[in-house]
Chains A and B, each alone.
Chain A
Amino acid sequence: MRNMGVSDFPDAFKETREAKGVCPFNDQDDPVAMLLRFKDVRKSAHDYKSFISGAVPGRIVIPSEVNIRDTRQIPFEVDPPEHTEYRALVEDWFKRPFDSTYEAGLESIILSELEKVLKKGSCEAISELSLPIQSRALTLLLNIPLKEAETWISWGTHVFRSEDSNLDADKASILYDYIDAEIDRVIAQPDDSLYSVLLNSEYQGRKMTKEEVKGVLVLTFAGGRDTIINYLTNTMAYLGEHPEAMDQLRNNPALVNTAIEELVRYFSPLTHMGRVVAQEKEVCGHVAKEDTRISLCWASANRDEAVFENPNDVVLDRKMNPHVAFGFGTHKCLGATHARQLMKVFLRVFTQKVGKLTVVNAVENIEDWGEHQRKVGFDRLEIELNPIE
């Protein structure tokens, strides 16, 4: 059924996608041609030789981060063949969320946060649920003590952004300084965390450098923060307005498998990701000139009517759902296994413990992409929760 109200996330790109397929966006005088159609997005994501990620660090991110960081995020900002070896080094570690002990850890974190707010009866969902759950779950991915999450929670929702600026170098340096200090601490006192595993890993026959280790950690922190927070918060807004979905998920636990894919398609927590053009190439009538940027607009591709039937409806049991919410191709999201497991456990625990969720007040977070304004999540979501009877 069609959504209404606060959990409605409109397709911001429909008209331009259908009429032109490409949309220009001027980002800090380094323009971007946003690709909006599913087929173009997938084809260009696959073509890592023409559209590269291994550009100046921060340039493929939109808004560009070239002015606020020099550290290259790994393996994200490296292309094959180097990418292949880096990715192989971390792939197994990032599949740990499949383990039953990891799943149990997530369940315990979510249960504990949910019980706190159920006692109160109401809360602001981002600061009291999404952020603490995201942060505490990250301790599992890093394999470090749970209490470390308190530091990250104290940073607030945006690692790179402050209230008056989309890109805040001072705020970003908090994260970089923290990771530098943690790397030094683990060098002095090795443990069984991701830090130690990386410091002991060999790349091209030599030990990973501190800068490379930092690159993986920055990616892990930055890539999995706003995205997961939006995914969780938006899902709560949806469940609040769709009590029938709560019932379906409660009565049919297997439904979570397709539901998490559909919700991530519908919300597309990361709107797009850039690439730098290695050599001039035409895409969808746009001549992408060398050393300019394109972007792969996952959010638009995920609403493409040429691929998805009723793309603006949330269909929890959608059987065929080739969404690109976790990206596509070589650079597909490294944290996707963690995100999927977190979301599965969240839906299961939430629908078992919460009988009713009411949205009391919502402040939408609208991104500005020039001609297009896209709702990606919320700045505030005040909710009331009633335990299941």
Chain B
Amino acid sequence: MAKITYITKEGESLVFEASSGSLMELAVKNKVPGIDGDCGGVCSCATCHVHVAPAYYEKLEAPSEIEADMLEFDDNVNEYSRLCCQIPVSDAVDGITVEVAN
């Protein structure tokens, strides 16, 4: 079971636990504002854009070319930007904090 913290645009911290799926699916299931996951996780919509806490960003696998290209054109991109549909829930991300980007 991994604990994931989402920080909304309003600055609210929302904490959820899961053992499978992606960070996007967990957010959508719990209606985290600003994470819509319109395309269901196939990297076509960029409605699950987050900024990953720097300490955790390095622990994640680097984004694929398709994800990086999607992010290139989104708003509020920074060096810690990720589409959270591409971050699987696992023990490796237990304790991670992500901030909703848009």
Chain A, 303-360, CB within 8 A of any chain B CB: 307, 318-324, 326, 328-329, 332, 336-337, 340
- B69 sits at the interface (CB 8 A): yes
Q: Which of B9-17, B32-40, B50-58, B93-101 makes up part of the contact surface?
A: B32-40
Per-residue contact bits, chain B 46-86, to A (CB 8 Å; 1 contact, 0 not): 00000000000000000010100110010000000000000
- Min C-beta distance of A310 to chain B, whole Å: 15
Chain A contact residues: over half helix, strand or loop, or mixed? Answer: helix
Contact among B41, B43, B66 with A257 in the assembled complex (CB-CB below 8 Å): B41
Among B36, B43, B70, chain A packs the most CB atoms within 10 A around the CB of B43
Complex-state Cα separation, A337 to B47, whole angstroms: 12
- Min C-beta distance of B17 to chain A, whole Å: 21
Asked if residues B39 and A261 are in contact (CB atoms below 8 Å), the reply is yes
Count of chain A residues with a beta carbon within 8 Å of a chain B beta carbon? 24
Complex-state Cα separation, A261 to B37, whole angstroms: 12
Complex-state Cα separation, A171 to B26, whole angstroms: 47
- B1 sits at the interface (CB 8 A): no
Chain A, 113-160, CB within 8 A of any chain B CB: none
Asked if residues B38 and A323 are in contact (CB atoms below 8 Å), the reply is no
Asked if residues B40 and A261 are in contact (CB atoms below 8 Å), the reply is yes
Asked if residues B69 and A95 are in contact (CB atoms below 8 Å), the reply is no
Complex-state Cα separation, A287 to B43, whole angstroms: 31
Among B41, B44, B66, B69, chain A packs the most CB atoms within 10 A around the CB of B44
Asked if residues B73 and A320 are in contact (CB atoms below 8 Å), the reply is no
- A250 sits at the interface (CB 8 A): no
Among B39, B43, B69, B73, chain A packs the most CB atoms within 10 A around the CB of B39
Query: Quick one: closest B residue to A324, CB to CB?
Result: B44
- A258 sits at the interface (CB 8 A): yes
Asked if residues A329 and B66 are in contact (CB atoms below 8 Å), the reply is no
Residues of A close to B40: CB separation below 8 A: 257-258, 260-261, 340
A261-B39, A336-B38, A337-B38 known; A323-B44 Cβ under 8 A: yes
Residues of A close to B73: CB separation below 8 A: 42-43, 46, 328-329
Complex-state Cα separation, A321 to B45, whole angstroms: 10
Asked if residues A261 and B42 are in contact (CB atoms below 8 Å), the reply is yes
- Min C-beta distance of B15 to chain A, whole Å: 22
A46-B73, A95-B36, A307-B66 known; A322-B44 Cβ under 8 A: yes
Residues of A close to B42: CB separation below 8 A: 258, 261, 318-323
Asked if residues B38 and A340 are in contact (CB atoms below 8 Å), the reply is yes
Among B41, B42, B45, chain A packs the most CB atoms within 10 A around the CB of B42
Asked if residues B38 and A322 are in contact (CB atoms below 8 Å), the reply is no
Asked if residues A322 and B36 are in contact (CB atoms below 8 Å), the reply is no
Complex-state Cα separation, A337 to B36, whole angstroms: 10
Query: Quick one: closest B residue to A95, CB to CB?
Result: B36
Complex-state Cα separation, A2 to B73, whole angstroms: 33
Complex-state Cα separation, A139 to B77, whole angstroms: 38
Contact among A322, A328, A329 with B43 in the assembled complex (CB-CB below 8 Å): A322
- Min C-beta distance of A35 to chain B, whole Å: 15
Residues of A close to B43: CB separation below 8 A: 320-322
- Min C-beta distance of B39 to chain A, whole Å: 6
Residues of B close to A43: CB separation below 8 A: 73
User: Which chain B residues have a beta carbon within 8 Å of chain A's beta carbons?
Assistant: 36, 38-45, 64, 66, 69-70, 73
List 9 tightest A-B contacts by C-beta distance, closest first. A257-B40, A321-B42, A46-B73, A261-B42, A322-B44, A322-B43, A320-B66, A322-B66, A320-B43
Given A261-B44, A322-B43, A326-B44, 13 other A-B contacts at CB below 8 A?
A42-B73, A43-B73, A258-B40, A261-B42, A320-B64, A321-B39, A321-B42, A322-B66, A322-B70, A323-B44, A332-B45, A337-B38, A340-B39
Task: Give 20 A-B contacts (CB < 8 Å), ordered by A residue.
Answer: A42-B69, A42-B73, A43-B73, A98-B36, A257-B40, A257-B41, A261-B39, A261-B40, A261-B42, A307-B66, A319-B42, A321-B39, A321-B43, A321-B44, A322-B66, A322-B70, A328-B73, A336-B38, A337-B36, A340-B38
